[in-house]
Amino acid sequence: MIVLHPAFHPSFVQFLKEFNVSHDYFECHELLEDYWKEVAPRQKQHALTALILLSTAMYHWRRRNLVGAIKTMKTSINRLNETSNSIIFDKINIEKLKLNMRISFELMQQLEEFQSFSIDIISADLLDQVNELQLPEMENLHFLTHKHMLRDRTDILEEREKQKKRRDDLV
């Protein structure tokens, strides 16, 4: 059996593609949150949470929610600094990521317009997987900017109702 590097998890590969190509930060958040829940549920100090928070900060910044963007980016930077020795980060240029995050944080604080950046991949194998991944047709900018309000939430609402019913049944 071949054991792949943890960073080669399909959700991580798709996260990198979405972050670098489509800039669908909402989807980036969703992908990594599912991956994080699979490998380290409730471990807030896990390396993946730094990237989840980064995705959230970028999403807020593009939406001009600067208060949310600044707060979330600050937490993301701190979390990345605390967890940067994780194996999750050994296939990307972590120093350049830290620099880009600090620059973005400063731009947010200066109330500058949104600016995307890419996460440099230093592993040829990981880069090949990211490049081979085909994404669905790109959404328009309005949808990407307001995705949390415009997406179909039926499955989320149904799951919430199930959880509520379970809690009510326990009481």
Residues 17 and 85 both lie in one domain: yes
| pLDDT tens sequence across 119-132 | 999 999 999 989 98
CATH number of the domain to which 114 belongs: 1.10.3450.10
Q: Is residue 146 domain-shared with residue 64, that is, in the same domain?
A: no
Domain identity same for 98 and 163: no
Question: For the whole model, what pTM was predicted?
Answer: 0.77
- Max mean pLDDT among 97-101, 132-136, 156-160 falls in 97-101
Output the pLDDT for position 92: 94
Q: Is residue 25 part of a domain?
A: yes
- Residue-level pLDDT at 104: 98
1 inside domain: no
151 lies in the same domain as 171: yes
**Measured between alpha carbons, how far is residue 2 from residues 5, 7, 8, 99 in Å?**
10, 14, 12, 34
**Domain total in the chain:** 2
DSSP structure class, residue 153: -
Closest CA to 108 of 144, 65, 56, 79: 65
What domain range includes position 83?
Answer: 6-138
Question: Is position 56 within any domain?
Answer: yes
Kind plus residue range of the DSSP H or E element containing 113? none
User: 8-46 pLDDT, tens per residue?
Assistant: 889 999 999 999 998 999 999 999 998 999 888 888 899
Decide if 109 is inside a domain: yes
Q: At what angle do helices 66-83 and 94-109 cross, to 10 degrees?
A: 150
87 & 119 share domain: yes
Indicate if 151 and 106 belong to the same structural domain: no
